[in-house]
Structure 1
Amino acid sequence: MTELLKAQQLAVPGIVRPLSFTLTAGRPLTLLGETGSGKSLIAQAIMGNLPAGLQARGRLWLRGEELSGLAPAARRRLWGRKLAMLPQEPWLALDPTMKAVEQVAEGYRYLANKDWPQARQLAGEDLNRLGLGHALDRLPGQLSGGMMQRLAFAAASTGGADIVIADEPTKGLDAGSRDQVTGLLRQVAEAGGGLLTITHDIAVARQLGGEVMIVRNGEVLESGPAEEVLKAPVSDYGRALLAAEPDAWPALAPAGPGARVLKVAGLAKSRGGLSLFSDVSFELNAGEIMGVVGPSGCGKSTLGSICLGVLEPDAGTVWRDASLPRTRYQKLYQDPPAAFAPYCSLGQSLRDLVRLHKKDWAEVQRLLPRLGLSADLLERLPREVSGGELQRLAILRILLLEPVLLFADEPTSRLDLVTQQQTIKLLTDLARERGCALLLVSHEAALVNKVADRVLTLGESTATTSGAA
């Protein structure tokens, strides 16, 4: 098989230990591991865009040509043309002021040298194929997280690069959209290209096939054909990953009686002339967990914003306990970078909250280890930690405000399976212990069915409620 990309003793000192691998034409390679294990830094080391202060060691070859000594400008000229990278946080890679079709057309115009009419035509075809034909003229802020991920995929694919590095490409997507994007990635390899995928989603690794490397704490624990490694891993961590898939979780004990904290009746909301949902009614009591499921773009996040009073419904009513401060009704964001000041250290953000709301810093110190977080992270900026670490810090900050209702919008979409299980257990335990109602959005039906007392399903402008399986 043709060797496309080769890494020899590639490392980021202090974070990623030396590792070697070869990416061959037509054979996908997937790096699978826990959040914060350095997987994304491996991708950035290959692309040559590591964060300031970090430097790669080791050697890299692209089609036999060594990249290690190339100047940064020469390395950047490969982007999109020889090497394409799908980002972990799509909303950070997209221009918030540019319509979706223009973001993709721009790549065709300047990377593929198409004229503007042809570039826009190709962009429209790509977005239609990805199920975004209705969103050509929308801005990124008008798209769901899953829709933004698909838009970023389209934009990154315009330059014709046949080697694709995909960093958590299906994060935040429902199962159908995840399978669609995974299928598109697989086509890269099937066409004879190279595909290096970084993920914590075992389902993605299984669907892609090829080779798998399980990575933890910057170290490769095992590697081999996907069908062998994912069926019978030999490392303790590999076995723990399989055991942490939601289907294997024990079911949560039923909620006890609690005071009402939220009641909605007859809610309806449209966007862009299209109905998202209508006639949504339910009540939530203290300590109760309701799952909210449905495809990307069906209005799950919008429903939560209405429940919190951030958005007004087109029809219907929302009751919240008026005797409580609004800060007791909280949202855990799907995209944690949006919840933190980018140039303020994480510790300073938490200290500001503690001071403003007269909380106890000792609670921060108690929650850090319970969330699997090191106190050293508090000295860093948001961009200097992994997406999963940032999500857990967002959970910590929310818990300091002692919410009576927490709308958790895909709270584990950035976490590996082991950390996901730990984090969901923490959220559900705290909901029960503290009497906090939890409105939990997830694309994973198996996860919701294990932990929710009831499930609200949105889709096609309708809503249905059922008890969890």
Structure 2
Amino acid sequence: MSEFFLDVAGLRVFDAASGKAIVDGVKLRVANGGVLTLLGESGSGKSLLAQAIMGTLVSGLRAEGAIGIGGERFDAADQRSRQRLWGRAVALLPQEPWLALDPTMRVLHQIAETHELVAGKTADQAGAAALRDLDQLGLRHAARLYPHQISGGMAQRVAFLATHAAGAKLLIVDEPTKGLDSGKRDEMLAMLRAAQGDGMAVLCITHDVALARALGGDTAVMLDGCVIEHGASSQLLSRPAHAYTRALLAADPANWPVRSALQAPGEVVAQVDNVAKSFGKHRLFDGITTDIRRGEVVAVTGDSGAGKTTFGNLLLGLLRPDAGTVTRAAGLPRTAFQKLYQDPAAAFAPTLTLRAALRDVLALHGLQWEDMAPLLARLRLAETLLDRLPSQVSGGELQRFALARVLLLKPALIFADEPTSRLDPITQQQTLNLLLEVAGESGCAVLLVTHDAQIARAVGQRRIALHEVG
């Protein structure tokens, strides 16, 4: 058997209608038990490369080239040829964890199903194994919950457990640390290392440079569908040869300038007075009192599960507090309070093209396409993406479409729930700068949830730190 479990040669992905190559001439190898990290900006082709390897490219895209998995050779154009390997030889943890989970199935059953149907365990053995898996990541309390009842970070870890349950020898993970606080990121890193220690080859697609450093092995950098640099992680990440790689590393949030404090706060948009919230017997937070004013950027921080998203939903009126009050400024329309979702797929109808979704918003609010076009251009969203479904663009591209739709309505307050967790450092910095620039021009308040302490330090003019009460 070859020393390489994954061997890709001359892989190209085409738009079938135009014949344009979106991924062009990629060659990469992952050794048995080895790791290769793919870095690159949103839309560079990283996720399409993973889909081509798995044989899950959407209609309208086609692949060519050779793919070797576990010593077997496949024609990349024959997508069905690799389906029998799913779960058994190769497994994919996708970028959007909620799309990987069955919304009608409880967390425990999601994991047990893989143990039973793919790994061949009995129902009792599968249930016991699933509980052990949840214990490993401190998620036993979520066993009876449904996917919509858990946070994005928890959904990511549940999807990882379900993916890993059958013990496939190649694990492809797409943005495994997005939306996770530092502690949970360390847990995910430990899981990936444990999988590698068990002999799994790992292909990790990420914009998290720190994760690439920690995983070691090899790193490849993609830009515009091509691999522009490839080598040992220790060397490439310390002495990059390509100008784009140098820019990518320089855009780390640790290097961002700190925003100055707001000199003249505007009127109060929302008042929070002694607010508390629980789910069942689990108390998220208690006694929170603060004002949110026009023009300010407030960073909301805390561990996964501390209630950051819940706090923002209370401000928007999507939830009611168990105690205390939330008062929104009088005289503002409902559209004055907007949300950028942590998982942008949750904000778009899956069967509508992005063009149709945006035109619906314009028609609803009496706006014209001329109002939308400049925002799309500023967010570097190409015209060709508009006729795709939400599932046919990258997570980063979809988040930028969501941002354009929110900014179009000129809100008084934007609750931005991890709005750049899917973006590479360069696009992340550009997108946050645009959000803050446009919000500042209109005097909009921004409530920014982030797990990244460096982003909170650089962007937040003040901070609300949430801690679980118990």
TM-score of the superposition, structure 2-length normalised?
0.96
| Equivalent residue number for residue 29 of structure 1 | 36
Query: Could you tell me which amino acid in structure 2 is paired with residue 153 of structure 1?
Result: F
For the residues of structure 2 that align with 1:339 and 1:192, how far apart are their CA atoms? 38
| Equivalent residue number for residue 294 of structure 1 | 302
- For structure 2, list consecutive stretches of 5 or more residues without a partner in the other structure: 15-20
Distance apart, 1:360 and its partner CA = 3.7
| 1:366-398 Cα deviation digits (max 9, x unpaired) | 111211111222222111111100100000000
User: Is the deviation greater in 233-242 or in 359-368?
Assistant: 359-368
For the residues of structure 1 that align with 2:463 and 2:348, how far apart are their CA atoms? 30
For the residues of structure 2 that align with 1:417 and 1:72, how far apart are their CA atoms? 32
Conserved in 2, the CA contact under 8 Å of 1:264 and 1:280?
A: yes
Residues 1:202 and 2:203 aligned together: no
Distance change in 2, residues 1:71/1:10 (3 Å): closer
| Equivalent residue number for residue 125 of structure 1 | 132
* Among 444, 460, 468, the residue aligned to 1:452: 460
Conserved in 1, the CA contact under 8 Å of 2:284 and 2:307?
A: yes
Distance apart, 1:228 and its partner CA = 0.8
Residues 1:306 and 2:311 aligned together: no
Conserved in 2, the CA contact under 8 Å of 1:101 and 1:124?
A: yes
| Equivalent residue number for residue 405 of structure 1 | 413
Query: Could you tell me which amino acid in structure 2 is paired with residue 5 of structure 1?
Result: L
Residues 1:88 and 2:95 aligned together: yes
Residues 1:234 and 2:241 aligned together: yes
For the residues of structure 2 that align with 1:425 and 1:461, how far apart are their CA atoms? 34
Distance apart, 1:254 and its partner CA = 2.1
For the residues of structure 2 that align with 1:70 and 1:385, how far apart are their CA atoms? 20
| 1:99-154 Cα deviation digits (max 9, x unpaired) | 10111001111111111111000000001101211111000000000000000000
User: Is the deviation greater in 253-262 or in 72-81?
Assistant: 72-81
For the residues of structure 1 that align with 2:130 and 2:429, how far apart are their CA atoms? 39
Conserved in 2, the CA contact under 8 Å of 1:288 and 1:431?
A: no
Conserved in 1, the CA contact under 8 Å of 2:88 and 2:166?
A: yes
Percent identity at matched positions?
A: 50
Aligned residues, how many?
A: 462
Residues 1:253 and 2:254 aligned together: no
Query: Could you tell me which amino acid in structure 2 is paired with residue 39 of structure 1?
Result: K
| Equivalent residue number for residue 49 of structure 1 | 56
Distance change in 2, residues 1:74/1:223 (3 Å): closer
| Equivalent residue number for residue 446 of structure 2 | 438
Structure 1's consecutive aligned runs of 4 or more residues displaced over 3 angstroms after TM superposition are: 69-74
For the residues of structure 2 that align with 1:72 and 1:54, how far apart are their CA atoms? 11
Residues 1:370 and 2:371 aligned together: no
In the TM superposition, what are the counterparts of 1:149-298 in structure 2 within 5 Å?
Answer: 149-257=156-264, 258-298=266-306
Distance apart, 1:72 and its partner CA = 4.8
| Equivalent residue number for residue 4 of structure 2 | 3
Distance apart, 1:461 and its partner CA = 2.1
User: Is the deviation greater in 340-349 or in 288-297?
Assistant: 340-349
For the residues of structure 2 that align with 1:11 and 1:127, how far apart are their CA atoms? 38
Computed over aligned residues only, the root mean square deviation of the Cα atoms, in angstroms, reads: 1.4
Distance apart, 1:74 and its partner CA = 4.5
| Equivalent residue number for residue 70 of structure 2 | 63
TM-score of the superposition, structure 1-length normalised?
0.96
Distance apart, 1:70 and its partner CA = 9.1
Q: What SS class does the counterpart of residue 349 from structure 2 fall into?
A: coil
User: Is the deviation greater in 68-77 or in 238-247?
Assistant: 68-77
For the residues of structure 1 that align with 2:161 and 2:199, how far apart are their CA atoms? 19
User: Is the deviation greater in 142-151 or in 53-62?
Assistant: 53-62
| 1:63-118 Cα deviation digits (max 9, x unpaired) | 22112279655521211111111111110111111110111001111111111111
